[in-house]
Amino acid sequence: MMCTLYLTAFDRVIRHWMKILVNYKCVSMISKNKKEVREDNPIEDLKKLNVDRQANGGIMKFEKLYINGEYVDSTSGEFIEVENPATNEIIGRVPRGNAEDVEKAALAAKEAFKTFSLTSFDERIEIMKKFAAYLKENLDEIAELITKELGSPIKFSKKTHVQSQINRVEKYINIVKDYEFSRRDGGALIVKEPAGVVGCLTPWNYPLGQIIQKIVFAILAGNTIVLKPSQQTPLVAYYVVDGLEKAGLPKGVLNLVTGVGGEVGNAIATSKYIDVISFTGSTKGGSEVAKLAQETVKRTTLELGGKSPAIFLDKENLELGVKQLLAIVIENTGQTCSAWSRAIVLESVREEFEAEIKKQFPDFKVGDPNDRNSIAGPLASKKQYDKVTDYIEKGKEIADVLIEGNYDFPEKGYYVNPIVFNDVKNDAVIARDEIFGPVLCVIYVKDKKEAIEVANDTDYGLSGAVFGNQEEALEVAKLVRTGTITVNDGPGEIGTPFGGYKLSGYGREGGIEGLEEYLETKTINVRA
């Protein structure tokens, strides 16, 4: 009798799981009605506020945290000011959250996980489709805000910071649609299920893109989130909250806690209610977060720094290669972890390479981010400006300058002229350290073998490129120790796995591999 009861109960459990796996709507948490506009919504406040007319002193109002579906005051009562790096004006302020706020957010996420993890994939996909539609509808506003808080040119903000991220959401939806969340292995059922509460720590250089990279897969997989954006560019995160709330995301699934990394970030890393950490930032910061997360045996994904190579083997595809090289080094003012900041050039093509750099360099204009002709704007902060200019001064002491910008910048703003250093030794500080600015180091080598050796002689392994004869370039690309590498005009497919080797981190964002960072594997022994 006891055995019969046990088997019956077990059978009910299996049937319950099978219903989830075939997307039966076991829980319906999503409002079918259009959400009403909330009176306490900072995005609606912003739309009423004409910043250009200096209403409210020109300061945007983002003065609440978002926890358990409500905009709430921070425990500290303190705020962090957000500066426009092109004008040095304060354009907004956000709460300085603390560990107590993180615990409230983590508890809300833990509670929401109990039901949200049981929703169907169809429901979650529908939320993300509505979110993508929201981003499209508000593309111009979001891009303008990113230009204000980051300093990136408006054209780049629209195309790369926003439109590319809409494309990413759509790609991630398709990946989830095609993914096999369960499979049979003999007498066992192998199930992929949500990992739990995810702590997302994002950097300042791609303020929307890095949030999208993390939360879209996490939510589609059925997880709940505590999000901490960079204190430097936190404003766009409120559009993410607004968009997902209007898309019908249940309360507690996404929680936003703004603040300082060493305070809020550390609290997220150590919270016993958080199961997974996804961090993008500096190698130093990632290492510290990983150490803290180990205390509670959290799974961590780290996307960190880079000092990536672009190898030029011969004259073939030289013009194309130089154009791509200068774009990735100068666009976003060089503040891209995957920038090819080391050009490794065979001596046999030196003369042609130098001529091509000089020819194309003037095409990459640095200036006012509101000027549609600007390719790059200012650096993102005074701290970043001081760091980059210090490296430039060091570089001028130890290397030749092939070409340098000569722009007449305004008195205000953290502008810096892009520069190409020539004949740099690979052991030089400017060739070893991640500068995170529009600084390119050109290193000459005698042959293909040395090019590969120099490319791999780095503490990092995040990105790279090889230009030359297609067959030979592909052969070289396979020997470079890096997570992503481009061969000639190879398209950079959005949504493919991205991550690094060595000090560039571990784990992947994007692709099937990125989705699986937010899934646990369960084996159920049961007859078919």
Q: Domain of 347: which CATH number?
A: 3.40.309.10
Same domain flag for 350 and 394: yes
Q: Any idea what the Cα angle at residue 203 is, between residues 257 and 308, rounded to 5°?
A: 160
Q: Are residues 377 and 400 in the same domain?
A: yes
Claim to verify: residue 229 and residue 341 sit in the same structural domain: no
Arithmetic mean of pLDDT, 311-320: 98
Within this chain, do residues 191 and 233 fall inside the same structural domain, yes or no? yes
> Same domain for 213 and 276?
yes
In the chain, DSSP finds a helix count (H) and a strand count (E) of: 18, 23
Residue 1 counted as domain residue: no
* Same-domain pairing of 328 and 447: yes
Q: How many residues does the chain have?
A: 528
Q: At 303, is the secondary structure helix, strand, or coil?
A: strand
pLDDT digits (tens, 9 = 90+) for 65-92: 999 999 999 999 999 999 999 999 999 9
How confident is the model at residue 53, as a pLDDT? 43
Q: What's the Rg (C-alpha) of the chain?
A: 24
Report the C-alpha gap between 486 and 448 in whole angstroms: 17
Question: In whole angstroms, what is the distance from residue 323 CA to residue 330 CA?
Answer: 11
Name 352's Cβ contacts closer than 8 Å, sequence gap at least 6: 315, 318
Whether 171 and 270 share a structural domain: yes
* CA dihedral for 424, 366, 325, 234, sign (positive or negative): positive
Indicate if 303 belongs to the active site: yes
517 and 432, same domain (yes or no): no
pLDDT of residue 52: 52
Inside any domain, residue 14 = no
Distance, in Å, from the CA atom of 364 to the CA atom of 372, rounded to the nearest integer, reads 12
Query: What does the alpha-carbon distance between residue 91 and residue 84 come to, in Å, rounded to a whole number?
Result: 6
pLDDT, tens digit, for every residue of 439-452?
999 999 999 999 99
Look up tokens 């508000």; give the residue: 138
Residue 357 covered by a domain? yes
Cα angle 202, 203, 208; round to 5: 70
When pLDDT is cut at 50, 70 and 90, the band that residue 4 belongs to is very low
Query: In the prediction, which pLDDT does 47 show?
Result: 73
Q: How many CB atoms lie within 10 A of CB 478?
A: 10
Strand order from edge to edge, sheet including 439-445? 400-404, 419-422, 439-445, 342-346, 309-312, 465-467, 486-487
State the total domains in the chain: 2
The count of other CB atoms within 10 Å of the CB of residue 14 is 13
Instruction: Give CA–CA dist 305/283, Å, rounded.
Output: 6
Quote the pLDDT of residue 34: 44
| Structure-token match 């609606």, residue found | 44
Burial grade of 374 (CB within 10 A; 0-12, 13-18, 19 or more) = buried
Report which of 522, 323, 370, 342 is spatially closest to residue 430, judged by C-alpha positions: 342
d(CA 399, CA 431): 11
What interhelical angle do 470-477 and 448-456 show, nearest 10? 40
pLDDT at 50: 54
Indicate which CATH number applies to the domain containing 207. Answer: 3.40.605.10
Confidence class for position 394, pLDDT limits 50, 70, 90:
very high
> How confident is the model over 490-504, as a mean pLDDT?
94
The SS3 of residue 280 is: strand
Domain hosting 150: range is: 61-77+94-304+508-525
What is the average pLDDT across 295-311? 98
| Residue 38 confidence (pLDDT) | 72
**Domain match, 403 and 274 both:** no
**Same domain (yes/no): 353, 208:** no
| Structural domain contains residue 55 | no
Would 361 be classed as within a structural domain?
yes
Average pLDDT over all residues of the chain: 93
Q: Does the predicted model carry a pTM greater than 0.85? A: yes
Query: Is the CA virtual torsion 327, 329, 335, 341 positive or negative?
Result: positive
| Residue 118, φ and ψ in degrees, nearest 5 | -95, -5
Q: How confident is the model at residue 60 (pLDDT cuts 50, 70, 90)?
A: confident
Mean pLDDT of 473-492: 96
**H-helix segments, 74-163:** 99-116, 121-137, 139-150, 154-156
- Calpha distance 478→474 (Å, rounded): 6
Q: What is the pLDDT of residue 49?
A: 62
E strand or H helix that includes residue 483: none
Assess if residue 31 is contained within a domain: no
Q: Are residues 341 and 367 in the same domain?
A: yes
What share of the chain has pLDDT > 90, as a percent?
87
- Per-residue model confidence (pLDDT) at position 57: 63
Q: Output the DSSP codes for 338-352.
A: T---EEEEEGGGHHH
Q: Which two tokens stand for residue 474?
A: 């592909």
Whether residue 372 is contained in a domain is answered as yes
Note the pLDDT of residue 68: 99
Report yes or no on 36 lying in a domain. Answer: no
Catalytic residue among 83, 103, 263, 303: 303
The whole-number pLDDT of residue 36 equals: 57
Q: What is the reported pLDDT for 37? A: 59
Same domain, 459 and 369: yes
